[in-house]
Structure 1
Amino acid sequence: MIQDPFKPAKRVAGQRQDVWSIVNEAAAAYNQEHGAGSVVNMGQGFFGYNPPEFVLDAARDALGKVDCNQYSPTKGRPRLKQAIADAYSPFFGKKIDPEKEVTITTGANEGMLSAFMGFLEPGDEVIVFEPFFDQYISNIEMPGGKVVYVPLQPPKDGATKTTSAGEWTLDMKELESKITDRTRMIVINTPHNPVGKVFSRDELQAIGDLCVKHNIIILSDEVYDRLYYVPFTRAATLSPEVANLTLTVGSGGKCFYCTGWRVGYLIGPEHLIKYVSAAHTRICYSSVSPLQEATAVAFEQADKHNFWEESKTEMKGKMDRFNEIWKELGLPYSDPEGGYFVLVNLAKVKLPEDYDFPPHVASRPRDFKLSWFFIKELGIAAIPPTEFFTDANAHIVEDWLRFAVCKDDEVLEKAKERLRGLKKYIQ
């Protein structure tokens, strides 16, 4: 039998329509009916405003330098690696070696792919907590890894009253039961997207102890590490034994409001980071030179501009102002401990029984219907979090939606005004 040369590989074939295309489809239809830009986008986690001027100036300056318009060293520009080492050494309680313990990647996502590519053989297992950033799954499966899921459980009364994101809990016994002799890595995300949970020191220590016991690599996704509103512990700082197993993932784009720059980085011991660097070299060789240079300058100058504290204060202010609408509507939400996402429980919202959902939405959990309804009837986009769960555990969050608050204040106010249109549907 002659094979079809155009048949796609299994890793990309037969996938159901993803959440981003569904939300964008509904938003495009709303904009077509009401005018371009009519939808208030509280869905995707991109910033609605520019980086500060000192960061933009650094990018403009970098474009004028000859070497910044050519290939950078594959492991990253020395200036950026040094800037990251200087910025993170105080947090790690040790002097980070920029040449041996830091590698620069094309966004944090490619950095995580490089970590998986660097350590996974076909059949190796990676434990991921639900809800998860959806890119984790394909990144693990690309090199032949198997994803093993452990769900976070929401607060028992999260549907009836506002609770802390910290009350989403991990069952440690269930976690340990999922460890096998094929378990190679565990992925932690703190501050967590979409929950907004900052894992406590005790929680991280319990996970770290398991990883030391079973010799499992920790991939700690800490891309929101500058936006925490409760005490924040970095996994690599728990103990020398845990640090020896930990790769920390960071994001210049998240730090400096420039997610489109795609500048990520990993920090870890040399015996781990060198294999991440080797995989990164094979995936994309090197990352964008002028934006690496600009990110280096941003790290170097951030303290002088009091950027970190102002950034945190500003985002917490946006979060608090936006969440006033849920108090007004009497809808419970999960009060975030970090990041810029908030989960809202909409069990009290009664969707019209005869509402005409398209088949690809009608077949999905209730949160997809809520998301579609919010766009079509209220003109506001939010993300259904069941996309970040397996089908078996989607029921955990089918009454929730995720909103991103990293937008201009006028956008947040417009969103709040439109959300008042929910009043007639709340029971």
Structure 2
Amino acid sequence: MAPKVRPAKRVEGQRKDVWSIINEAAAAADKEVINLGQGFFGYNPPSFILNAAKDALDRVDCNQYSPTAGRPRLREALSASYSPFFGRKINPATEIVVTSGANEGMLSAFMGFIEPGDEVILMEPYFDQYISNIEMAGGKIVYVSLHPPEKGDTQVCSADEWKLDLGELEAAFTEKTRMIVINSPHNPIGKIFSRDELKAIGDLCVKHNTIILSDEVYDRLYYKPFTRIATLSPEIEDLTITVGSAGKNFYCTGWRVGWLIGKEHLIKYAGAAHTRICFSSVSPLQEATAIGFELADTHNFWTLSKREMQRKMTLFNSIWHELSLPYTEPDGGYFVLVNLSSIRIPDDYEFPPHVLERPRDFKLAWFLIRELGVAAIPPTEFYTERNQREAENYLRFAVCKEDEVLEKAKERLRGLRMFMV
């Protein structure tokens, strides 16, 4: 008998992840399930972007390899769009690399700078892909919490009330700290870090010569002033790699077009890793993204997109007011955290073992799918075990869906009344 195939340690022994659990619950439900868990859009990009993608498929050059750093037209469009925010001309040839989605861009940044034993500071809750990407590069993760407001169990709170303790952050830096990851607007909280918070974080990174990976994929969906950390000082900019995403900007998460922006001494190494990971990204969709940026202002797209998502947020969150359930009012993005501490699951309710062993929010998510047919994401998946209790009463809902889907979900969520205390 042939010897058993031995997997690499980086992928062996992984427990069932949140996406598998939620999809399994939905598949076993006796009703159609409304998916407000995963953050993909329930509608298409606007026609001017879709038409650009269709037209690109008819061009020979758009069906062949793009330069590894990205198509020149897209890098020029990104430079034109982002330079006004940065207050200087971003060099499209040396300060931008186009990646296969923001996730591959972040992996490229980690692979470009993290070596075994290097430490990376993450704030929890975190986007779960950060973890595997850092560990793939051999990095050690050091966690610092964004603490929820104490009144979150009983009152509607603003996302900016989730606080970073700067003393805890400073204590996390060591001589091995190589990088810190910031996410603003934040998934899943919806927090936009204030200018003062970002300046304090940036100054610590300058003091410790630490690279800042600033995940700003929701940078066009902000409902209060939004500051880019790279713009706060030349010293901070010298350490900052900014991450962006066409999928989040243009409602096309399946296109997998992202980018990294930063000074040449940072981008050239992240770009070198990107070259070795996937060489280049999808050519016709890069071209369409470039045209999207070129035409966005003509169509007043950024303003309308922001206004529409905020309208959907208000539309959906009316159900929590109706049920007197507290939630975190997001300052950006398209997720909302809802506190369900007042929901009582029957004591004899049966859960599969892999749900029973997880925190309360997993049980709430399973219960919501099976009883009401609405899927949401348990946010303790985005925490270490040490701090899971801070989020075990919350669920995360995505509002980037058609209005009729949100209304249908609201109708089903009214069924929570029978389980409230």
Could you state the TM-score of these two structures normalised by the residue count of structure 1?
0.98
Q: Secondary structure at the match of 1:104?
A: strand
For 2:236, the equivalent position in structure 1 comes to 242
1:17 corresponds to: 16
SS at match of 2:381: helix
In 1: Cα distance, 2:4 partner to 2:137 partner: 22
Report whether the alignment pairs 1:109 with 2:108: no
Aligned to 1:298: 292
1:338 matched to 2:337 = no
Amino acid at match of 2:324: G
Q: CA deviation at 1:376?
A: 0.2
Aligned twin of 2:283: 289
> Counterparts in 2 of 1:19-98, with a 5 A limit?
19-30=18-29, 33-34=30-31, 38-98=32-92
Of 399-408 and 6-15, deviating more is 6-15
Pairwise CA distance, 1:3: 10
Report the residue type matching 2:265 in the other structure. H
Aligned to 1:224: 218
Shift in alpha-carbon separation, 1:426–1:287, aligned structure 2, 3 A: same
Q: Are 2:174 and 1:153 equivalent residues in the alignment? A: no
Q: Secondary structure at the match of 2:222?
A: coil
Q: 1:320-342, CA deviations, whole angstroms, 9 ceiling, x for partnerless residues?
A: 11000000001000000000000
Q: 1:7 offset after TM fit, Å?
A: 1.3
Task: Answer yes or no: is 1:314 the counterpart of 2:308.
Answer: yes
- 1:414 aligned to which of 399, 408, 418: 408
* Residue 156 of structure 1, CA deviation: 1.1
Deviation at 1:303, TM superposition (A): 0.3
Identity of aligned residues (%): 71
Query: Deviation digits for residues 326-383 of structure 1, max 9, x if unmatched?
Result: 0000100000000000000000000100000111000000000000000000000000
- Aligned counterpart for 2:204 among listed residues 210, 225, 239: 210
Partners of 2:155 and 2:138 in 1: CA distance: 42
| Secondary structure of 1:149 counterpart | strand
Tell me, which stretches of 5 or more residues in structure 1 are unaligned? none
CA distance in 1, matches of 2:199, 2:300: 31
Q: Match for 2:16: what amino acid? A: Q
Q: Give CA-to-partner distance per residue, 1:200-248, whole Å, 9 cap, x none.
A: 0000000000000010000000000000000000010011110010000
Distance 1:8 1:263 in 2: 30
- 3-state SS, counterpart of residue 157 of structure 1: helix
SS of residue paired to 2:328: strand
Q: 1:10 to 1:85 in 2, by over 3 A?
A: same
Amino acid paired to 1:55: I
Q: Distance in 2 between matches of 1:366 and 1:99?
A: 49
Would you identify which runs of 4 or more consecutive aligned residues in structure 1 move more than 3 Å?
A: 2-5
Aligned mates of 1:211, 1:72 — CA distance in 2: 35
Alpha-carbon deviation of 1:4?
4.5
Q: Distance in 1 between matches of 2:42 and 2:185?
A: 21
- Per-residue deviation, 1:5: 5.3
Cα-to-partner distance string for 1:167-223 (whole Å, 9 max, x where unaligned)? 000000011101000000000000000000000000000000000001000000000
Alignment-mate amino acid for residue 283 of structure 1: I
Q: CA deviation at 1:29?
A: 1.4
Label 1:408 to 1:107 Cα distance change in 2 as closer, same or farther (>3 A). same
Distance 1:253 1:397 in 2: 27
Distance between the aligned counterparts of 1:364 and 1:128, measured in 2?
22
Show structure 2 runs of 5+ residues with no match.
none
Q: Within 1, Cα distance between the matches of 2:136 and 2:417? A: 45
User: How far, CA to CA, are the matches of 2:199 and 2:316 in structure 1?
Assistant: 33
The one of 343, 358, 369 equivalent to 1:375 is 369
Are residue 189 (structure 1) and residue 188 (structure 2) matched? no
Structure 2 counterpart of 1:323, one-letter code? N
Amino acid at match of 2:126: F
Alpha-carbon distance in structure 2 between the residues aligned to 1:336 and 1:50: 23
TM-score (norm 2): 0.99
Q: Deviation at 1:24?
A: 0.3
CA–CA separation in structure 2 for the residues paired with 1:27 and 1:292: 34
